[in-house]
A and B are shown apart, each in its own frame.
Chain A
Amino acid sequence: MRFVFDSARKDLRWLFADPTALILAIMIPLIIGGLMSTIAGGGDTAIPRARVLVVDQDEGLLSEFLQGAGGSAQGGDFLDIETVELEEGRARMDRGEASAMLVIPAGFSEAMLMEEPTSIELVKNPSQTILPEIVEEALQMLVEASFYLHRVLGEPIKAIAEGPEEEKSFFDDLRMAALAVQINQQLRALEKILFPPVLELETEIVREESEEKAVPQSFGMLFLPGILLMAMMFLSQSMSETLWLEKDKGTLRRVASTPQSMFGFLAGKLLAAFLLMTGISTAGLVLGVWVYGLNWTAIPLSMIWLGFSGCTIFCYFILLQTLAGSQRGGSILSMTLLFPLMMIGGTFFPLEAMPEWMQEIAFWTPNGQAIVQLKTVLNGSWQGQSLLLAMLCIGIPALITFLMTSMRLRGAFLHK
């Protein structure tokens, strides 16, 4: 049992002897947080909205789509799309009244549907940096989406674009229904692939509209939990890589020849991870108090919760490391888990900014669970029962993977 502490002390000494990994794990989330903060226009709480003027000389499907997107549940929060005449648009852009202006030439929709070369004009507001970028990014995505749409839905799209068969002025009902069903089916299958990029656009500028500095609505509350959890996840990933270092350096073999159990050795790593994570989250939380007016009293429980949930993620990473065939493999494997997990688990983008179906997926990820509870702890609305339930939900699978890993260490992993 005391070896757990010896092992933890060794790991902490090791980490601090070469703190690159540690620094990265803290810096990356901070940088991302800083970026978010810049996008949001500094420390104040006013919501940024991208005002986009659309000059629609096409009056086809695309402009309808754009207007629809602007008014939709997700897009409507931060995109103001306004249809204007060309002259008026140019004048308003000159006055700096909008982030960007989009000029859709006549015949654009049809050209796009038929996959014929065409162009679209985007006028960006030079005094704004990020919002026009986002609009451009979104447009780029639309172009790509149209490319993929053609790959997937080429047939029905062309059929619509070409118009009804000769001698008829409209599609007959049967043909129309068949087309609709075809599109609908393909779209359903595609929904999962197509939505994330759109999401990226939306969430980069997402903000709750609120004037008062009420804690739950503030920028800090929206992004701080994600940043903290992101740091925990980066730390978990990089600490899990020490398993391969132990193996390659021969120290794992030496541990295996001592009377100590691999369970104790690994528990030491877990303890080191926990101490480090609670330490770093405390620093982050203190920063949260200072910058975002977070309540002091939320710190102790938040810090423990962050350490705990970080450790559960660490358990998955160490198992992945033992499943890989080499250190490089382990690195790649754990990274491939890390990023999607952060994306769908509400760590990278706030859960509130996600479509409902993604929030439901996030609920099933350990970091998603962690962040939901963390928010309640931070704003003081937490309930013992649901916190305990979440703890069991993410703790039990983690415990199982931990046991599996400790069994693999002496066997399959050691003799790889």
Chain B
Amino acid sequence: MIEVSNLRKEYGDLVAVDGASFSARPGEIFGLLGPNGAGKSTSIGCISGLLKPSSGQVRVLGHDVVRDARAARASLGVVPQELALYEDLNARQNLQFWGAAYELRGSELKNRVQEVLEICGLLDRADEAVKKFSGGMKRRLNFGCGIVHRPKVILLDEPTVGVDPQSRVRLLDLVKEEAKRGVTVLYTTHYMEEAQELCDQLAIIDHGKMVASGTMDELRGMMGERDLLRMSGSFDPHSTEAAIAKLPGLELVSVDAESLMLATAEGSKRLPELFACLSKVGAEVRETTLSQPNLENLFIKLTGRELRE
């Protein structure tokens, strides 16, 4: 169980996380979706006790991460965005060390290390120095080091960045398995597809602010049954805006000199009248894309920006 309320983290003048509130329950994968610099890693840092929140409260299994830091940290497993491994040691020694850091000892540690090596598909390379591993193998070991002590809460910070599709599927399966065992998972990503496939609950975060949250269905509902229409060409923002306003059922998402975004139900049927209207105000359309409701569209609708820019 993770409970975050009004979390705020400032770096000088910059507000990296601005009043985030959410909670993730056992057996649930909670996704934190946002572009680069949105504040995902900062949130994870505050939850794992690495960063001191400027204000707000974070509780892990009921333990306040600031006042009851040790207990909170003991129940957490963290898989950081950047690899955190001893590259000169082998995979087994890495797992042994991190297991010991969470008080696993003796045969219990030994067996669990063996188990994790198997889970991560690294059994045959267990006694090789990590620096000889491929990027994907390091990622899997990085994940393994975060779960070696069977934590009840796992924080994963973009664990699949730079991983080939096969390893990625494998990693996502591992995360799902952990959740099935009743573990609370917080998963950050900037991949829509990953969030859509994996997460039971989702929060979309941009510039430190949570712009939407809920289950996948709830979020789709926010988008409505509406399609997203993206046009590029040349537009006069003022006259375009005025012209669109006269068309019922069309919602203007954003407009500038080169692009125009609209949300509407049954987009394909509205195209002819839209083109007519735009040519009347002198706009020139070079390319049009129409997409079905999905998270990406929701993000664009909420922030006026593409998720990956």
Q: Which of B27-35, B97-105, B202-210 contacts A (4 or more CB under 8 A)?
A: B97-105
Contact B78 A257 (CB under 8 A): yes
A263 to chain B: closest CB distance in Å? Answer: 13
- In the complex, the answer to whether B50 meets A260 with C-beta atoms within 8 Å is no
**1/0 contact trace for A244-258 toward B, CB 8 Å?**
000001110111111
Among the stretches A10-18, A83-91, A136-144, A311-319, the one at the interface with B is A10-18
CB-nearest residue of chain B relative to A265?
B101
> A10 near B89 (CB under 8 angstroms)?
yes
Q: Tell me whether A254 and B87 are in contact (CB under 8 A).
A: no
B93 at the interface (CB under 8 A from A): yes
Contact B100 A253, beta carbon cutoff 8 Å? no
Inter-chain contacts of A415 with B (CB < 8 A) = 51
Contact B50 A257 (CB under 8 A): yes
* A3→B101 contact, CB < 8 A: yes
Contact, CB under 8 Å: B88 / A14? yes
Say if the beta carbon of B113 comes within 8 Å of chain A.
no
Interface residue tally for chain B (C-beta within 8 Å): 29
Q: Determine whether B82 belongs to the interface, using a CB cutoff of 8 Å to chain A.
A: yes
Residues 92-129 of B at the A interface (beta carbon under 8 Å): 93, 97-98, 100-103, 105, 129
Chain B interface SS verdict (over half): loop
**Considering the chains assembled together, what is the distance between the CA atoms of A255 and B101 in angstroms?**
8
B82: nearest residue on chain A (CB-CB)? A250
Closest approach, in angstroms, between the C-beta of A169 and any C-beta of chain B?
76
Query: Is B86 close to A, CB under 8 A?
Result: yes
**Is B83 in contact with A250, judged by CB distance below 8 angstroms?**
yes
A260 to B105, CA, bound (A): 14
Taken together as a complex, chains A and B put the C-alpha atoms of A373 and B145 apart, in Å, by 46
Nearest CB in chain A to that of B102: its residue:
A258
Residues of A376-416 whose CB lies within 8 A of B: 414-415
Q: Which of B57-96 contact A (CB under 8 A)?
A: 70-71, 73-74, 76, 78, 80, 82-89, 93
Q: Tell me whether A249 and B85 are in contact (CB under 8 A).
A: yes
Name the residue among A6, A17, A254, A255 with the largest chain B CB count within 10 angstroms: A254
Decide if B49 is an interface residue (CB 8 Å cutoff): yes
A188 within 8 A of B: no
CA distance A2 to B76 in the complex (A): 20
6 other contacts beyond A17-B89, A257-B73, with CB at 8 A cut-off?
Answer: A10-B89, A13-B93, A14-B88, A249-B85, A255-B101, A415-B51
- Name A's B-contacting residues (CB within 8 A): 2-3, 6-7, 10, 13-14, 17-18, 249-251, 253-260, 414-415
Interface of B toward A, CB cutoff 8 Å:
48-51, 70-71, 73-74, 76, 78, 80, 82-89, 93, 97-98, 100-103, 105, 129, 145
What are some 19 contacts across the A-B interface (CB < 8 A)?
A7-B97, A10-B93, A14-B86, A17-B88, A249-B86, A249-B87, A250-B80, A250-B83, A251-B84, A251-B86, A253-B50, A255-B101, A256-B49, A257-B48, A257-B73, A258-B73, A258-B101, A259-B71, A415-B51
